[in-house]
């Protein structure tokens, strides 16, 4: 007979930050978001987050590598976090501000970083003893603000390691290991034990990072094009689910895996890109969170919030005016996920079990994982065709293009082109160079009127050619609302309880008793997505 639990225990390396992992005897599960700056994360803002089920916020200690730690802001953040029971993951160092990946001249080139006084080039930061001491001093300033408070969950010692692209993986791994040891020493100095990680900018983390035993959990930033520049609500979730499964399969030991930063941020640094509307973003982020959690990731994943509520009448909201907190829809969604997680928190190591599910429909994707006491699963219906038809209809109805609807119409152009190519690789009626021309016009602040006219021309051309070549893309009906057959293998022998949940609301739909090791069930009818938990009965 197999164990009465969903999974038997496996040997797991005890992370250096294991006192935090041991809380509740679970791997480490967070429900939260990533914010570049401390502003907006105190007082009423933190209460609102806690009320929505947020447990963790990730912040930068020095957003622009200028050597300016906001000690007062950190102390206020600590006070608010302790009051409302939240935790903070602090980014210590971000190489992206030292390189020219995102801008013609980096902040280091302009002499604006703390390292300019000690390093001749950005790569010197990895080998310079003086640069290491600057980072340790920064760590001390953060520790001085938090002391031994449990509000400081831990450290992401390096944000997006590979952005320092001038050096190889071996040099990056050595630097991360040395910095990790110095950070742990600072925590030990005050009697604290905290989690430490470093993140990869690759949408699937590389082996050198997966194998870095000095880190307590794997952090990665899945800025795949399907997430940073999304053209539908589904592909990003498929990527995250596959990335989590890959990590859990490749890890030499069973450590937690987490997306500590991702989101729809391309328009932050490129005014030539459209900002998807709030409803599109809300559905995409819901799917990202559930794909992450159900696939075995540590909680919801942490996403950069693009909070432009109250500014919808304007095309572009200055970064200085954006609020670095989740939108109202995101907070509702986080609360729904937290409700279901609280019913069956993980215990012990987690395994991805997507291959143990069989769905009786080609239009439904399945995600699943299990810990010792429960299996969590999520079904996602493929709504890409129906969504595209609805997006096109909205864009056509909103025309002609003007600054107030430019994002909506331009994003529809991008979704339309991608949908055509996905439906038929031989059809691409709107040339990439023409689309790129619209972005070039938008980057020139004096050419917005011409950009609007070019978007109208693109939509007119796409409309005519699609009606001629693929009219079915314009007439797709809404998502089906049908049940699906589900076969789950790998269950323990004996009785198990299966509970179905509305994942958007976090509410119970129904329960059923199933018998392992293989169970076959029919789901309740659902339109877009549906969650389930399986636990041993009794």
Give pLDDT tens digits along the chain (538 positions).
222 333 333 333 444 443 333 333 343 456 788 877 777 677 788 888 888 888 889 999 988 899 889 899 999 999 999 999 899 999 999 998 898 887 788 899 999 999 998 999 999 999 999 999 999 999 999 999 999 999 999 999 999 999 988 899 999 999 999 999 999 999 999 999 999 999 999 999 999 999 999 998 899 999 999 999 999 999 999 999 999 999 999 988 878 899 999 998 877 778 888 989 889 999 999 999 999 999 999 889 999 887 777 665 555 666 666 667 788 889 999 999 988 888 877 666 788 888 889 999 999 999 999 887 789 999 999 999 999 999 999 999 998 999 889 999 999 999 999 999 888 777 778 888 889 999 999 988 789 899 999 999 999 999 999 999 899 889 878 888 999 999 998 787 678 899 999 999 999 999 999 988 899 999 999 999 999 999 888 6
Residues in Cβ contact with 98 at an 8 Å cutoff, skipping those fewer than 6 apart: 65, 106, 107, 108, 113, 115, 122, 125, 164
> At which residue do the structure tokens 């020095």 appear?
62
d(CA 213, CA 221): 19
d(CA 167, CA 392): 45
Q: What SS3 state is found at 469?
A: helix
Q: What SS3 state is found at 537?
A: coil
What per-residue confidence (pLDDT) applies to 10? 34
Q: Are 184 and 5 in contact (CB under 8 A)?
A: no
d(CA 449, CA 402): 8
d(CA 13, CA 275): 43
What per-residue confidence (pLDDT) applies to 220? 93
- Beta strand 87-91 pairing with 152-156: parallel
Closest alpha carbon to 180 in 205, 207, 221, 217: 217
What per-residue confidence (pLDDT) applies to 16? 46
Closest alpha carbon to 373 in 2, 1, 11, 7: 7
Q: What is residue 13's DSSP assignment?
A: -
What pTM was estimated for this model as a whole?
A: 0.93
Side-chain-side CA neighbours of residue 477 (13 Å): 3
What per-residue confidence (pLDDT) applies to 320? 65
What per-residue confidence (pLDDT) applies to 1? 22
What per-residue confidence (pLDDT) applies to 451? 94
What per-residue confidence (pLDDT) applies to 316? 60
What per-residue confidence (pLDDT) applies to 478? 81
């Amino acid at each position: 007979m197999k164990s009465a639990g969903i999974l038997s225990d496996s040997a797991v390396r005890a992370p250096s930050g294991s006192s935090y992992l041991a809380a509740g005897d679970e791997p480490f599960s967070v429900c939260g978001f990533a914010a570049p700056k401390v502003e907006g994360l105190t007082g009423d803002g933190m209460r609102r987050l806690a009320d929505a089920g947020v447990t963790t916020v990730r912040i930068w200690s020095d957003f622009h590598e200028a050597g300016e730690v906001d000690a007062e802001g950190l102390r206020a953040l600590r006070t608010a976090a302790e009051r409302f029971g939240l935790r903070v993951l602090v980014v210590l160092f971000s190489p992206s501000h030292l390189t020219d990946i995102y801008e013609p001249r980096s902040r280091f080139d302009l002499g604006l970083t703390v390292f300019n006084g000690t390093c001749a080039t950005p790569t010197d930061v990895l080998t310079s003893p003086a640069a290491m001491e600057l980072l340790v001093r920064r760590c001390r300033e953060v520790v001085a603000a938090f002391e031994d408070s449990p509000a400081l969950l831990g450290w992401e010692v390096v944000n997006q390691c590979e952005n320092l692209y001038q050096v190889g993986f071996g040099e990056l791994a050595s630097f991360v290991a040395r910095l990790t040891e110095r950070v742990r020493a600072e925590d030990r100095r005050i009697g604290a034990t905290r989690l430490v990680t470093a993140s990869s900018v690759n949408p699937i983390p590389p082996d050198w990072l997966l194998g870095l035993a000095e880190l307590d959990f794997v952090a990665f930033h899945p800025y795949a094009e399907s997430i940073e520049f999304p053209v539908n609500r589904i592909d990003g979730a498929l990527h995250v689910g596959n990335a989590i499964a890959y990590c859990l399969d490749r890890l030499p030991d069973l450590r937690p895996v987490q997306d500590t930063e991702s989101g729809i941020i391309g328009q932050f640094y490129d005014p030539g890109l459209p900002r998807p509307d709030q409803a599109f973003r809300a559905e995409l982020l819901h799917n990202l969170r559930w794909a992450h959690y159900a696939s075995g990731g540590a909680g919801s994943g942490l996403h950069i919030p693009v909070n432009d509520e109250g500014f919808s009448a304007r095309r572009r909201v200055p970064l200085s005016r954006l609020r670095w907190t989740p939108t109202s829809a995101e907070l509702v969604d986080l609360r729904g996920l937290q409700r279901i997680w609280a019913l069956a928190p993980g215990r012990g190591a987690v395994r991805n079990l997507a291959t143990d599910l069989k769905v009786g429909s080609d239009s439904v994707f399945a995600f699943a994982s299990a810990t010792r006491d429960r299996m969590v699963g999520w079904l996602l219906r493929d709504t890409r065709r129906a969504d595209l038809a609805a997006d096109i209809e909205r864009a056509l109805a909103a025309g002609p293009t003007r600054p107030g609807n430019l994002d909506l119409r331009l994003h529809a152009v991008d979704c339309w082109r991608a949908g055509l190519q996905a439906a038929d690789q031989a059809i691409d009626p709107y040339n990439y160079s023409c689309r790129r021309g619209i972005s070039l016009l938008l980057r020139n602040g004096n050419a917005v009127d011409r950009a609007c006219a070019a978007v109208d021309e693109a939509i007119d051309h796409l409309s005519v050619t699609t009606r001629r070549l693929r009219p079915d893309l314009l007439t797709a009906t809404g998502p089906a609302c049908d049940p699906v057959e589900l076969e789950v293998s790998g269950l323990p022998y004996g009785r198990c309880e299966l509970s179905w949940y509305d994942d958007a609301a976090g509410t119970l739909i129904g329960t059923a008793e199933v018998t392992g090791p293989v169970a076959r069930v029919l789901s309740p009818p659902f339109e877009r997505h549906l969650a389930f938990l399986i636990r041993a009965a009794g």
